Chain A
Amino acid sequence: MNAPYFDIRNFSMEIEGLKILSEINVKIPENQITVIIGPSGCGKSTLLNSMNRVIDLTDGIHITGEILLKNKNIFDPTVDVTELRRKVGMISQTPNPLPMSIFDNVAYGLKIHGIKDRSRVSSSVKQCLNTVGLWNEVRDRLDAPASTLSLGQQQRLCIARALAVEPEALLCDETTSALDPISAHHIESELLSLKNKYTIVFVTHILRQAKRLADYVVFIYLGEVVEAGPAVTFFTSPKDPRTKAYLEGVFG
């Protein structure tokens, strides 16, 4: 197995006194697609939001344990959060374009991280839009507001935007749930083609999607890691009885 990108150790979280995650211990492998599965409301998104510290924006959180990225705890006070978030990109469930043109959306990340050179920004934008298969569709209207794109296109724009800042990892929170099947399929193919360059962590509650995408699987139920392992063995011979039950559709 590859060396872990994220090493999550004894990670627990309470939000406003409610225990959301208990003693999470799991290693997310580098440059693979790790799928976090489990029924809705069990803490998957919370765990994902912790990996790029977006969870910081929530009121009343209390954390114990660590999440190590390349051996440094990302919750350490000396960590530069803006750099962490550049390295660990996120694509949400519903597309969230910035109030700008298509071009500016992708260029935004470059701009704030100090890349001002016009030609470099242009070529970066073109390249990222190409990677997600949007370039040909939007090349004539780069100045149009991002909100005029269809949902599927907006979501791909969000991926392009995340890729522009040259991250190491991509966190996807039910990224295709709000989309039609064709767009969903496009995005899944894109992620599969990206996995050798990036560590991808994908949260979903759709088992079939997990089977299509996963190299490594983590099953979270009621805020705990029930089982985790390579996809091959996970789906064919799960060890924990709860995992078996979930895979057979008994609940979730």
Chain B
Amino acid sequence: MERKILDTLFTRVMFVLAFLISLITVVIALILVLKSLPLFQISSISELLFTSIWQPAEGKFGFYPFIMGTIWVTLLSMAIAIPLALLSSIYLAEYAPRHIRNAIKPLIDLLAGIPSILFGLWGILVIVPLVRNDIAPLYGISTTGYCVLSGGIVLSFMVLPIIISLSDELFRTVPLSTRSASFAMGATKWQTVKYVLIRKIYPGLLAAIILGFSRAFGETMAVLMVVGNVAKVPSSVFDPAYPLPALIANNYGEMLSIPLYDSALMFAALILFCIVVLFNISAKMLLMRFQIEGVRHE
């Protein structure tokens, strides 16, 4: 009988914990919204999102430069990362001999595990000087190197492993017979990849890209250290920018000294939260048909 009691007790405890923890996202959303509310009493949402004047002491919070900063850096990083990641994953999945693949995959995992602060360190020591001394002069531009380009390059390397691993898994979901059928008709490997494989998995590839995007959007440290942190809408990749996560990270100290500053920073966090959650949900929906997760082995 006591087995029954223990069983019931444990299953109840598990249920309660599971229920509470599944609410994390909701609770976070609630707190962010509640803390942002005071801001809405002095400005409308469109004012907040689309104006550029950032004078917290005077109660003016125009988020536009920060939003644009985030978009510039994120888009640039994706522009760099997507082709690199796709080409690399096609190589790893379809072309690489076994020993090369086995050598490279752990390195990709290593990249995934490197903390963002170390990416920032690398950014300051390698990328910023590279941009300042080598890349910008090519275009006749002089810059400190702390700009969108540096942020984009650093961020792209952070996002690469996510896209590569997911794409690799996706390629492996396609059975061997599909490829054999294509080769049997005289197609080259590349033609097989282009016309057969990618067509089969492109929703998943899209999901991988969306997840990469989402990660890039929310990444704080690495970007903060190299992007310049100037609150102006960038007009070129050689201009500095001030992405939303950097805004939050840099100013938490003043949060309490200026009225409504804490609401503003929470609103920035809320914007981040909404975009990231939206992307993650879309990616998950796209991935559902591949059943990469949650498949029970019989």
Q: Do A and B touch (CB < 8 Å)? A: yes
Q: Residues of A with Cβ closer than 8 Å to B?
A: 80, 82, 112, 114
Question: CA–CA, A130 to B122, complex, Å?
Answer: 66
Tell me how far the C-beta of A194 lies from the nearest C-beta in chain B, rounded to whole angstroms.
Answer: 28
Tell me how far the C-beta of B7 lies from the nearest C-beta in chain A, rounded to whole angstroms.
Answer: 9
Contacts of B4 in A (CB 8 A): 80
Tell me how far the C-beta of B250 lies from the nearest C-beta in chain A, rounded to whole angstroms.
Answer: 51
Contacts of A80 in B (CB 8 A): 4
Chief secondary structure at chain B's binding surface: helix
Contacts of B3 in A (CB 8 A): 82, 112, 114
Question: CA–CA, A80 to B3, complex, Å?
Answer: 12
Q: How many residues of B contact A (CB 8 A)?
A: 2
Question: CA–CA, A112 to B3, complex, Å?
Answer: 8
Question: CA–CA, A114 to B4, complex, Å?
Answer: 12
Question: CA–CA, A80 to B4, complex, Å?
Answer: 9
Question: CA–CA, A185 to B50, complex, Å?
Answer: 81
Q: Mark B1-42, 1 if CB is under 8 A from A, else 0.
A: 001100000000000000000000000000000000000000
Contacts of A114 in B (CB 8 A): 3
Contacts of A82 in B (CB 8 A): 3
Tell me how far the C-beta of B295 lies from the nearest C-beta in chain A, rounded to whole angstroms.
Answer: 15
- A80 nearest CB neighbor, chain B only: B4
Question: CA–CA, A71 to B283, complex, Å?
Answer: 55
Tell me how far the C-beta of A116 lies from the nearest C-beta in chain B, rounded to whole angstroms.
Answer: 13
Question: CA–CA, A82 to B3, complex, Å?
Answer: 10
Question: CA–CA, A102 to B4, complex, Å?
Answer: 27
Interface residues of B in 186-204 (CB under 8 A from A): none
4 residue pairs of the A-B complex, CB under 8 angstroms, read: A80-B4, A82-B3, A112-B3, A114-B3
Question: CA–CA, A228 to B4, complex, Å?
Answer: 39
Question: CA–CA, A82 to B2, complex, Å?
Answer: 13
- B1 nearest CB neighbor, chain A only: A80
- A113 nearest CB neighbor, chain B only: B3
- B2 nearest CB neighbor, chain A only: A114
Question: CA–CA, A141 to B3, complex, Å?
Answer: 31
Tell me how far the C-beta of B3 lies from the nearest C-beta in chain A, rounded to whole angstroms.
Answer: 7
Question: CA–CA, A233 to B4, complex, Å?
Answer: 46
Tell me how far the C-beta of B164 lies from the nearest C-beta in chain A, rounded to whole angstroms.
Answer: 33
- A114 nearest CB neighbor, chain B only: B3
Question: CA–CA, A219 to B4, complex, Å?
Answer: 38
Tell me how far the C-beta of B201 lies from the nearest C-beta in chain A, rounded to whole angstroms.
Answer: 28
Question: CA–CA, A82 to B5, complex, Å?
Answer: 13
- B7 nearest CB neighbor, chain A only: A82
Question: CA–CA, A136 to B211, complex, Å?
Answer: 58
Q: Mark B141-162, 1 if CB is under 8 A from A, else 0.
A: 0000000000000000000000
Question: CA–CA, A200 to B3, complex, Å?
Answer: 28
Question: CA–CA, A80 to B7, complex, Å?
Answer: 13
- A112 nearest CB neighbor, chain B only: B3
